[in-house]
Structure 1
Amino acid sequence: MKIVADDKIPFLNGVFEDKCEIEYLPGGEIDDLVLKNADALITRTRTKCNASSLEGSKVKMIASATIGFDHIDTEWCANNGIKWTNAPGCNAESVKQYLASVFAQLVIDKGWELKGKKIAVVGVGNVGSRVSSLAKLLGMEVYEVDPPRAETEKSTSFFKLEEIISDVDIISFHTPLTRVGEDATYHLCNSNLLSKMKSTAIVINSSRGEVVDGNALKSALVSEEIEAAVLDVWEHEPNIDKELMDKCWIVTPHIAGYSLDGKANGTMMSIRAISRHFNLGMDDWLPQNIPEPKRKIIELDCEYLSVERALSSVLVHTYPIKEDDLRLRMNIKGFEKQRGAYPIRREFKAFDVVLTNGNKELVELLKSLGFKNVKLLNQ
């Protein structure tokens, strides 16, 4: 048996070596010649899994260590006897952390008070539901928008985007990319939608690049129809629009879900899927020795800080998003390299927080967000 795997998938090296042959390659180099004699493929989004790469191969199983699967031609695979899995929810906490850092920067950089602000969370699946919960914990008024769920669940708790768009302070997209159908998300954020937003509104996209019409967003930013945009995903990436990048407030190279915890979850789900399919006896495999964060202990004196300001300082410590922003701005052509060599980022649970002159409200809020060890040292 032979497995071909993307060489950027962490914790995978050494797992299958005593079970079968495994070949590691950059995702963009995995093609029909590489896959010709492979039985299985473990991949990320950079490998296109379609007739061009798979026809005539021996591949019977594809495991994508990512939440998205639009790189897989699922219909072609189904018609040609190829099973596939993705890793839904693997990086949901990581994207939540990304949004938390954005919210923290709104407090730190723009002087926002988050409590009472209105946010539209568009797409309320594994990721969107966590972002929704995060926003509610921060005291924001949340409008959940998810037409497919609203229809399937016959629920009245969801909102229609066109009905609330003129009222929200933030809109954050967490949808898959779909190009056809009544609820297609391709260019969901377009000139029409942007024209209806507040001039002080913030647009955030960490879902798929094509969900936002980049040219329309650029025009809206130039004409000040909206205040700012945060983009982690881009149309035509890795060849992204520099003019658009220059107009955005925060930009990152498709790494919102790139916490080490999220990557480890994706690897775990892929290994278990391959194991089950080929009966390899690793159905309960867990990643070992995940590195600790460099600054694991967060010490903060809260004496002169509001709860929001103190919380924002803690959140930015776990993930200083402006560092990713600066790296991309300084080297736009390094988009792929920055993704492949992304530094260690651990989620909230990996940090210990020690607060001086804090209060129980802040302690409980941190615990609710996912911090496991929070100590209060009042003087």
Structure 2
Amino acid sequence: MPALDAMFGGHAEIRVYPGRDIGTEQVRDADILLVRSVTQVDESLISAAPRLQFVGTATIGYDHIDTQALEARGIPWSNAPGCNAQAVGEYVLTALLTLAERLGVSLAGRTLGVIGAGNTGSATAERAQALGMTVLLNDPPLQRQGDARSFVDLDTLLTRSDVVCCHVPLNRDGDDCTYHLIDEGRLAMLKPDAWLVNACRGEVVDNKALVDHKRACPDCRLILDVWEGEPNPMAELVALADIATPHIAGYSVEAKLRGNWILLNTLAQTLGIHQVPPLSTYVPPSSISSVGLAELGSQGDMARLARLVYDIDAQDRRFRDWFSQPGGFDRQRKAHLERREFMSLTIEGPAQQAGLWSQLGFNTRENPHGTGL
């Protein structure tokens, strides 16, 4: 959780612990508890903190927090909706461009199915449309709420999509249960050469069934950022994945700062903050600030630019080398602290290409001559 001192240091004494090591001893005299997804804020942890006045998670998902237990004790809580939407959308885009480059195929004209059309799913869909992909959306809760977009049922999405992306919260029960949403039966609905991307929660896809499916359908391609059993994913599944990363799709400098900043705004009244500085106050400069393009970008240009900001190939290699070592999964997550979002890079080139790069999330500046990539 970056910039804690800069954001909160003037208002509270800050004690920092590894997320998986936060237990009853660490929270006994805590007034405020700020976490990310690896910390389980359950009844036992809450009961051990009699002074607790607020719990915040600097993440979109909050399945790691027992919200009912907090509400029963009258303790307010907050997540950080939308904080990592851009980072997740850019992760998926970079992974798709990288896999397409490996296979020598074009993404334009292919159909992307997005399961979960909230913040991260929408960010992914917008970028895919900029690449010329057709997008299908499935989100029963949003559809019931009257979202004006066009939706399809899940079975239709699975059978018609060339690429399927999961962007749902983890719900273990109820009408909108997403635990093993993609199970053996639904995997069988996929096209034999479909690509499956999971960048939400590992348990949304039955990992054992996915191993069996990949072995039966070797032309199926897997981009996996999340895993059942984290921080100990199935070694068989890691070996079968085309791109494998340690639950870092939303891990950008900007996303982490944005998550903390959202919590700071929520806490402002409790902490006596009358005016919260803008997020830009905390965002550091990028090591690479601009790139020139003389011509409208090809898919290859897009892939190279995306990897200039985030080298997903290097991340994939490091993860495979380290995930099975003791503590290796979390070490890889912590080593991933300098990834920037596309907005940190300005594309300089002719005005007619600015729209494309803006849709993908880059900043743009007109330069009729460009400089070449």
Check conservation: 1:195, 1:225, Cα contact below 8 A. no
Question: Is residue 328 of structure 1 aligned with residue 325 of structure 2?
Answer: no
Q: 1:36 to 1:301 in 2, by over 3 A?
A: same
**Which blocks of at least 5 consecutive residues in structure 2 are unaligned?**
none
Determine the structure 2 residue equivalent to 1:32.
24
Check conservation: 1:194, 1:226, Cα contact below 8 A. no
- Greater CA drift, 261-270 or 308-317: 308-317
Percent sequence identity over aligned pairs: 33
Determine the structure 1 residue equivalent to 2:308.
317
2:362 to 354, 371, 375: 371
Check conservation: 1:104, 1:316, Cα contact below 8 A. no
Cα deviation for residue 360 of structure 1 reads: 5.7
Check conservation: 1:230, 1:248, Cα contact below 8 A. yes
Q: Distance in 2 between matches of 1:30 and 1:378?
A: 51
Q: 1:282 to 1:36 in 2, by over 3 A?
A: farther
Determine the structure 2 residue equivalent to 1:346.
340
Q: Distance in 1 between matches of 2:24 and 2:151?
A: 44
2:240 to 242, 247, 264: 247
Q: Distance in 1 between matches of 2:202 and 2:41?
A: 19
TM, length-normalised to structure 2:
0.92
Check conservation: 1:363, 1:376, Cα contact below 8 A. no
Cα deviation for residue 294 of structure 1 reads: 2.9
Letter in structure 2 aligned against 1:336: D
Q: Distance in 2 between matches of 1:206 and 1:261?
A: 18
Letter in structure 2 aligned against 1:48: Q
**How many correspondences in the alignment?**
366
TM, length-normalised to structure 1:
0.91
Q: 1:306 to 1:62 in 2, by over 3 A?
A: closer
Cα deviation for residue 353 of structure 1 reads: 2.5
Q: 1:80 to 1:200 in 2, by over 3 A?
A: same
**Which blocks of at least 5 consecutive residues in structure 1 are unaligned?**
1-8
Q: 1:106 to 1:35 in 2, by over 3 A?
A: same
For the residue of structure 1 that corresponds to 2:29, the secondary structure is coil
For the residue of structure 1 that corresponds to 2:197, the secondary structure is strand
Letter in structure 2 aligned against 1:12: L
Q: Distance in 2 between matches of 1:155 and 1:288?
A: 36
Letter in structure 1 aligned against 2:364: N
C-alpha deviations, 1:87-107, integer Å up to 9, x for none?
A: 000010101110110121133
Q: 1:282 to 1:337 in 2, by over 3 A?
A: farther
C-alpha deviations, 1:87-144, integer Å up to 9, x for none?
A: 0000101011101101211331111211110011000001111111111111111100
C-alpha deviations, 1:202-242, integer Å up to 9, x for none?
A: 00000011001100111111111652101001111011111
- Greater CA drift, 247-256 or 9-18: 9-18
Q: 1:24 to 1:298 in 2, by over 3 A?
A: same
For the residue of structure 1 that corresponds to 2:165, the secondary structure is strand
Determine the structure 1 residue equivalent to 2:179.
186
Determine the structure 2 residue equivalent to 1:296.
289
- When the two chains are superposed, the root-mean-square deviation of aligned CA atoms in Å is 2.1
Q: Distance in 2 between matches of 1:310 and 1:188?
A: 35
- Greater CA drift, 197-206 or 291-300: 291-300
